[in-house]
Amino acid sequence: MEKKNKILMGALAVAVIIIALLLGYIIGSKGKKDDTAKQDVTTEASTTDEKTTEKTSEKATENDSEEKTTEADKKDTTEKAKTVEQYACYAKISAGDSWENEGKTVVQYNVDLFNKSKSKISDWEIQVDGFPTDAKVGDSWNGTIKLKDGVLHITAVDYNKDIESKGSVTGIGFQVYFKNKGDASSVSKNPDVYVGGELYTEAMPEKEKPKDVEPSEPPKVEKGTPFENHGKLSLKGTDIVDKNGEKYQLKGISTHGLAWFPEYVNKDAFKTLRDDWGANIIRLAMYTAESGGYCTDGNQTNLKKLVDDGVSYATELGMYVIIDWHILHDTNPLDNQDEAELFFAEMSQKYADYENVIYEICNEPNGGTEWSDVKTYADDIIPIIRKNDKDALIIVGTPTWSQDVDIAAKDPVDNPENVLYAIHFYAATHKDNIRSKLETAHDAGLPIFVSEFSICEASGNGTIDYDSADEWFDLINKLNLSYCGWNLSNKDEASSLIDSGCDKKSGWSEDDLSETGQWLRKTIKN
């Protein structure tokens, strides 16, 4: 009897241990899975396995809450989008126009592919899932499009097979015919990118943190200067107003590329522009992608020193000053967004206590860059500046070399306080059609800044059109717009303000100025 009991007890103990071990295993592996999912969202996934886990868990969430598009769902999508962007190579898809045709719903899509990795890629393929199996592809451009079993495959056409490091293929477009209205809603917003047949999973290096810089103490401001009289500026409707709430107009000059004409960043030059021309603002144009650009082969330390010097001189002279992130060849501000984030974090920390500094966050988006991309960029950069500088004026560039203010007016940035939008014109090229964009946007209540213009052709050279220039200025003055004329240099081109035969770096006489220079001086003075 005794022995039997002992055996029974022993068996029971073994069973308890086995159950405990099993439970432990189940709990443990569940915990592990949750951790992986969490990690996928917050840090870069580095192996194919991790990405698969992430996809499965995402699909599960999608199915669970099919009907409810709650805040949580939205968050889930943005978090996924972030994860996708952490891959060195990623694609973005956006649905554009949609219409009915022969009983089908046609949706037009745009896809952009970015290669942020350190190497050139070729043999790429983008896959987008979630298409109904009965959907059909219509017209397409800039890509070879195939739809098979609900997955859309995009491969290169002959001219866009190779994508350089930091390069992109933008403007891939196609139309899809859906049998039922609403079928398009299942299309994935996060395409997968394959390179050489492999899912591209090379992780981006972790984002660099902005350098902590000491806020600079503003220098003493000269008496009787524009800044002393008008102080901190802000927006009231579409108008810039001064510290007393009175309408104010900024009138001034843009430097040429800081890297190319650094000698004009000197205090006497700015003083001449203030005292002899009547300018109250200087724009410091720092190219990001041309030769010597901040994000290409430029010396960042030297460029930042030029910005610093420019800001100091302008501030001592009681002038306002724009720090211009001069994108041009880098057509889409998203291309160098990481650098822009670091730059504006640093600048806004440094100049947090200056009340005369204005930030222009992307000179001229172009090359088909859509407003939605510029807005995405602006909605990321503006909060970075605002963290340090709560109320400085900020200027946002607009598509088509800062002409499409009418498009921006339909969908302004998320935090519009003290934000203006750039319109740029070159009077001999841009006439009524751009002026009417300006009026449309202004009528819609959009605050606008003419942060760059000249009176010659869009090349910055060619003939001057004084009549068109007059029409522009009638409108500028009627709408109380602020402006900066391009460019402070003696380069042999029509837009340069100093005559190409003049070597003086300040104290110019009328004869030292180019035709454009003479015109602009007169215009500002009046």
CA proximity to 165, closest of 195, 143, 137: 195
Is residue 246 flagged as an active site residue?
no
Cα R_g (the chain), whole angstroms = 29
Contact between 368 and ligand IDC by CB under 6 A: the answer reads no
CA pair distance 41, 64, nearest whole angstrom: 19
- In one-letter notation, the amino acid at residue 247 is K
342, 460, 479, 502: residue in contact with ligand IDC (rule CB under 6 A): 460
Q: Which residues contact 49 (CB under 8 A, 6 or more apart)?
A: none
Q: Of 151 and 458, which has the nearer Cβ to ligand IDC?
A: 458
What minimum distance in Å lies between the beta carbon of 313 and ligand IDC? Answer: 22
Phi-psi region of 290 (alpha: psi -120 to 50; beta: other; left: phi over 0): beta
328, 392, 396, 405: residue in contact with ligand IDC (rule CB under 6 A): 328
Q: Which residue stretch of 96-104, 131-139, 452-460, 502-510 sits at the interface with ligand IDC (rule: CB under 6 A)?
A: 452-460
487 preceded by a cis bond (ω within 30 of 0): yes
Sketch the per residue contact string, 348 through 367, with ligand IDC: x for CB under 6 A, - otherwise.
---------------xx---
CA pair distance 354, 313, nearest whole angstrom: 13
CA pair distance 35, 40, nearest whole angstrom: 9
What minimum distance in Å lies between the beta carbon of 347 and ligand IDC? Answer: 20
109, 426, 473, 483: residue in contact with ligand IDC (rule CB under 6 A): 426
Range list of β-strands (E), 346-426: 357-360, 394-396, 419-426
Question: Which of 54, 290, 452, 457 is an active site residue?
Answer: 452
DSSP class of 438: H
CA pair distance 255, 263, nearest whole angstrom: 10
174, 354, 401, 449: residue in contact with ligand IDC (rule CB under 6 A): 401
CA pair distance 269, 479, nearest whole angstrom: 29
Q: Of 130 and 262, which has the nearer Cβ to ligand IDC?
A: 262
Is residue 364 flagged as an active site residue?
yes
40, 452, 465, 499: residue in contact with ligand IDC (rule CB under 6 A): 452
Q: Of 115 and 363, which has the nearer Cβ to ligand IDC?
A: 363
Q: b or e along 144-176 (b: 16 or more beta carbons within 10 Å of the residue's beta carbon)?
A: ebebeeeebebebeeebeebeebbbbbbbbbbb
Phi, psi angles (nearest 5°) of residue 384: -65, -40
Across the strands, what pairs with 324?
285, 360
HEC per residue, 251-279: EEEEEEECCCCHHHCCHHHHHHHHHHHCC
44, 50, 183, 290: residue in contact with ligand IDC (rule CB under 6 A): 290
What minimum distance in Å lies between the beta carbon of 165 and ligand IDC? Answer: 22
What minimum distance in Å lies between the beta carbon of 458 and ligand IDC? Answer: 5
Q: Of 192 and 364, which has the nearer Cβ to ligand IDC?
A: 364
Q: Which residue stretch of 239-247, 340-348, 462-470, 491-499 sits at the interface with ligand IDC (rule: CB under 6 A)?
A: 491-499
What minimum distance in Å lies between the beta carbon of 484 and ligand IDC? Answer: 11
Q: Of 486 and 508, which has the nearer Cβ to ligand IDC?
A: 486
Question: Which of 364, 370, 457, 493 is an active site residue?
Answer: 364
47, 69, 119, 459: residue in contact with ligand IDC (rule CB under 6 A): 459
Q: Which residue stretch of 186-194, 209-217, 301-309, 453-461 sits at the interface with ligand IDC (rule: CB under 6 A)?
A: 453-461
Phi, psi angles (nearest 5°) of residue 493: -150, 155
Q: Which residues contact 414 (CB under 8 A, 6 or more apart)?
A: 379, 382
Contact between 495 and ligand IDC by CB under 6 A: the answer reads yes
Contact between 493 and ligand IDC by CB under 6 A: the answer reads yes
Phi, psi angles (nearest 5°) of residue 283: -105, 125
What minimum distance in Å lies between the beta carbon of 32 and ligand IDC? Answer: 53
93, 491, 513, 514: residue in contact with ligand IDC (rule CB under 6 A): 491
Q: Given the rule CB under 6 A, which residues bind ligand IDC?
A: 290, 328, 363-364, 401, 424, 426, 452, 458-460, 486-487, 491, 493, 495
- What is the set of active-site residues? 364, 452
